[in-house]
Amino acid sequence: MSNDDTRTQDERVVTIERFADQGRCVAHCDGRVVFVRFALPGEKVRIRLDPGLSDSDRFWTAEVIEVLEASDLRVTPVWKLAGPLAQGGGVGGADLIHVSMPGQRKWKKDVIDQQMRRLGGVDTDVTVHAVPGDDEAQGLHWRTRIELIADEQGRPSMRRRGSHERVPLDDMPLATTELLGIARQLRLWDGGFAPGSKIRLAVPKLHGSDKRGENYALSIDGRLRRGSQGLDESVEDVAIGDTHRTLGYSVQADGFWQVHREAPHTLVDAVLQVAQEQITSAPHTIWDLYSGSGLFTQALGLLVGRGGNGLMSIEGAPAAVRSARRNLRHAGLSAAEAKHGDVSRTLRSVPERYLHPDLVVLDPPRSGAKRQVCRQIAQSGAKVVIYVACDPTSLARDTRTLLAEGYALKDLQAYDLYPNTHHVESVAVFRRTRR
């Protein structure tokens, strides 16, 4: 230890024990837990402790600077800038860039099962499904939206972890080839932006005979610079009953939309499959909570249209609700009701026709739905709950609440919609077993 009780450049050799969340692994050092970035279980590695740690800390954090004995799951980072600091990386955005694609899914499965057991109180054996094309692309070229910051010379950049340094970019390997094409067309990498400005480029995936036109958006500090404020998105080949449909959406350029090029289709397909399996008798009523621009709402509305009482969606972002209402009208689903407001507060005054849903679909933010909303869902008497989760920890906490409220976890699937990162999307199905 140094005289000021900090370890600014301390190095250790440790053996990595197991996966942990947030893209880190667990080791032990000097009698305490160390969460290590860019490590893998079973490896012997040299690590550097993060600056500012002291003996009074409950745990330490560190990063690999040298691999002494490598795991079979380790690969050379295909995007060096996102790798370890010691190898010239550190920009973030791809914290599993050192792991093979099968290894990433193993890691994500382990974390989900850990969190569900520890926080959810239930044993699971989840399958993490790969998205077609991602393994072949080594987990690159999937993002339809990117966000960058202009450095002091006005060039697109990303911050290097642990410093104020902004690393200029001339490429973004996680972005789709379509987005990269628009970036080149707009001469994005040439810079010319005001230092510190926030740069966002959104480029929807093209389908079939679609033409690009102005269907993209370059925004600077939240203001549209080039392209269109309203973007056209579509989800093709959606199975509803015996028919297959293409669903069209209009979304705001700065609004939320699933970022992986195949995420909308993957998740809509997963939710609809469960909905049609679990809700077998009509009429039925459905709630769609945290509904965004209506990704699920439109598909569920078509399902309800086959013999239901009604569909109510709730979303807190005003622009997203406007988009959802427009999308429902264009789909001929004028009977579906898209409500604006905080989910919990809105559920305190549900119109009578929606009071007792047969099915509730929810896709909450990373923080989860939390206890109050889970209890309100239970109080509604909903027979089936489909929970779409982007964070295993929040899902596990909400699972414990739903189990206590009389539901059983009937199925859990996960989808690797964020390759080369620790993030993962899950779809959990709960069925009421007691009141």
* Stretch(es) of the chain classified as CATH 2.40.50.140: 1-74
Q: pLDDT grade, residue 5 (50/70/90)?
A: very low
Question: What is the tens place of the pLDDT at every residue in 195-238?
Answer: 999 999 999 998 766 777 899 999 999 999 999 999 999 999 99
Spatial separation of the C-alpha atoms in residues 393 and 192, rounded to whole Å = 41
**Over residues 24-42, mean pLDDT:** 96
* Active-site residue list: 390
Residue carrying structure tokens 């791809």 = 94
Residue carrying structure tokens 């001929």 = 332
3-state secondary structure (DSSP) of residue 113: helix
C-alpha closest to that of 266 among 142, 173, 138: 142
Percent of the chain with pLDDT over 70: 96
Sign of CA dihedral 24, 145, 289, 237: negative
3-state secondary structure (DSSP) of residue 275: helix
Give the number of other Cβ atoms within 10 Å of residue 111's Cβ. 22
Give the per-residue pLDDT at 6: 44
Q: pLDDT grade, residue 281 (50/70/90)?
A: low
Question: By the 8 A CB rule, do 363 and 337 touch?
Answer: no
Q: Is the pLDDT of residue 344 over 50?
A: yes
C-alpha closest to that of 150 among 194, 118, 113, 108: 194
pTM, entire model: 0.95
Percent of the chain with pLDDT over 90: 85
Q: pLDDT grade, residue 298 (50/70/90)?
A: very high
Spatial separation of the C-alpha atoms in residues 169 and 89, rounded to whole Å = 12
| DSSP letter (8 states) at residue 53 | B
**Over residues 379-406, mean pLDDT:** 97
Q: Is the pLDDT of residue 280 over 80?
A: no
| DSSP letter (8 states) at residue 171 | -
Give the per-residue pLDDT at 209: 63
Question: What's the CATH class of domain 1-74?
Answer: mainly beta
3-state secondary structure (DSSP) of residue 334: coil
Please list, residue by residue across 41-57, b when 16 or more beta carbons sit within 10 angstroms of its beta carbon and e when fewer do: bebebebbbbeebeeee
Radius of gyration of the chain (CA): 23
Give the per-residue pLDDT at 305: 72
Question: By the 8 A CB rule, do 275 and 239 touch?
Answer: no
Question: By the 8 A CB rule, do 47 and 34 touch?
Answer: yes
Spatial separation of the C-alpha atoms in residues 69 and 67, rounded to whole Å = 6
Q: Which two tokens stand for residue 332?
A: 């001929």
Question: By the 8 A CB rule, do 175 and 202 touch?
Answer: no
Counting beta carbons within 10 angstroms of the beta carbon of residue 416, is it exposed (0 to 12), middle (13 to 18) or buried (19 or more)? buried
Q: Is the pLDDT of residue 273 over 90?
A: yes
**Over residues 10-22, mean pLDDT:** 96
Spatial separation of the C-alpha atoms in residues 256 and 145, rounded to whole Å = 10
**Over residues 271-278, mean pLDDT:** 91
Give the per-residue pLDDT at 335: 78
